[in-house]
Structure 1
Amino acid sequence: MTEATRPAHAPATHPALPREKVGILLANLGTPDNHDYWSMRRYLSEFLSDKRVIDYPAWKWQPLLQTVILAKRPFSSGANYRLIWNTEANESPLMTITKAQTAKVAETMSARFGARVMVDFCMRYGNPSTESKVREMVAQGCSRILFFPLYPQYAGATTATANDQFFRALMKEKWQPASRTVPAYFDHPAFIEALAQSVERTYATLDHRPDLLVCSYHGMPERYLTSGDPYHCQCQKTTRLLKERLGWESSDLVTTFQSKFGPEEWLKPYTVEEVARLAQAGTKRIAVIAPAFSADCIETLEEINGEIRESFEHAGGESFTYVPCLNDDDAHIAALGEIIAENLRGWVD
């Protein structure tokens, strides 16, 4: 429970105020509350109605979304979620992992800064909402909030929309806390180190070294790149820095993009097509890592380890290894803690 006291020299009628803190609010994409049709429909409607994600005019997009797409897609998406659902906790893996990450980050921050900080998490889509967590932090005395979108590479459809939602939440507060947002950390040495360790750890368990490491990033329409989004360049730099840290040659890694949606051309090469091409060209053993995801989710557990694996094997590939996301790995938590501490300078030292 938050300790609350009246300010010094305040009259007896003055309401008690909680002790001032700095809030650290981690943010991830989101998750449906369940995998049934209506839970999936609510989640997909919120996600696909975001103008940062689908920027078509509403008059053109919403009738198609609400009648055609949301009549069918909740069934197929729900079936995919059902394959990976954490039945014991009755939640998606992303929710389970984000909770674990938050608990470890909170422990790290408490050891470093004591009771002056509090750590929590929110989701851009679904629950817990950004607005509810901002309100909770303010109520518990957070006069300053550091908002941390857990996307290593910046994209308008991820980092920017998470920040938008945070700012919208602040608009509803009568006494707004001071705020900062954490920038993309795609080239942060501690993040690259955590990625490299995850590759080395996975490779150490294999009988045969993969012929190639496929770095599969979430895709986006090509026109987003040409309109100024830095995502593509930051993905390429993450791959390059990972290669340099591992001491590998350029031929040991390839950058690809997954999760294409709709009729437009997206960033290429498409992961699902590239792994098939590699297999047909004689590459028999590959490993796949997803450096754009801070936590395993539907796009990694079902798409990479399901659809993309099948594409490789059906084309003649013999050995497919998935390198898990960093999740709540200690090196990842240490990296997040270092990034947070850097962005808290001047607030908490």
Structure 2
Amino acid sequence: MTAVLARYEALVAAGELRADPEQRAAAERLDALQQALEAIPARGSLLWRLARHKPKPLRGLYLWGGVGRGKSMLMDLFHHCLAIPEKRRAHFHAFMIEVHARLREARKSESGDPIPAVAAAIAENLRVLAFDEMVVNNSADAMIMSRLFTALIESHGLVIVTTSNRAPSELYKDGLNREHFLPFITLIEQKLDVMALNGPHDYRLERLAGIDTWHSPLGDAATDQVREAFFRLTDYPPEDSAHVPSADLALGGGRVLHVPKSLKGVAVFSFRKLCGEARGAADYLAVAQTYHTVILVGIPQMGPENRNEAARFVTLIDALYENKVKLFAAAAAEPEALYPRGDGAFEFERTVSRLKEMQSSEYLAAGHGEE
């Protein structure tokens, strides 16, 4: 059995991480939570049934801070080291898509409030629910989160561990009907320990030192650069590149988008897959809300005959830009030369401007989903 704190200290000793008091405090808190969870018999087990006093629910953890401060790294350590089977890690956006699908199904078969039944189904055989990048940017999620998570925590005893770029009080700030969301913020502050990670080291930017975000023309050199960016961002060993995980991203209505490479919030797509097929703004929004970084390869130089592809590319970039998604691209030309002629070429100039801004250090330092 490996402890979170021991793994963290080993990374610092090896020089892979730098000393950071806030990071260490979070590692200590996760280590204590790991030990407490592993010391409690699984619910329903013989030891659990024989226990004279059932253990008190454990407090979860809400880690928030800027980009590249080690939140996902600490979550990796916690989830990997936690030696219990009743654990689940999910990207928050994907989890909420699943919740809405479950609610729709529950409404078909039951009358009354479907949230208790959905919460019970989610909590079945589960003790820890860990999220990457909690961010709330639509009223549909905001309206149900308070009641759903109250049921998960108070009725089913789930321990919630989550990361976010924002402090709890900043979630869904200025959102529609935010008053319905405020009880969720209160729930976080009452049931989870809130810890900030805003140390001086932006590991994500440091890892990308020397690598630009836009690479042209197309060819081996451009491919090598975006490939290197992927492995630096995900810590995946390049020698095992044939086994990089893929994913199927739910788009709603039973549709899915296959993501050929999907790891730690980084996705790799071809231009042909994202813009060469019939897709709309909702598809691109799902990508932008799920991934903090998108690597797009094979972007061609387009002309009048590619007006549909160019229009989709504009919509894709709008979604990525508005959600502060980092874009690494392998393209046939620089942004201003991608679509010089054709329907919408004048409007494409705004996309060129956004693509230029997305290469700036200010944009790269912004948190995913920040407005």
* TM-score (normalizing by structure 1): 0.28
Higher relative contact order (CA 8 A, sep 6+): 1
* TM-score (normalizing by structure 2): 0.27
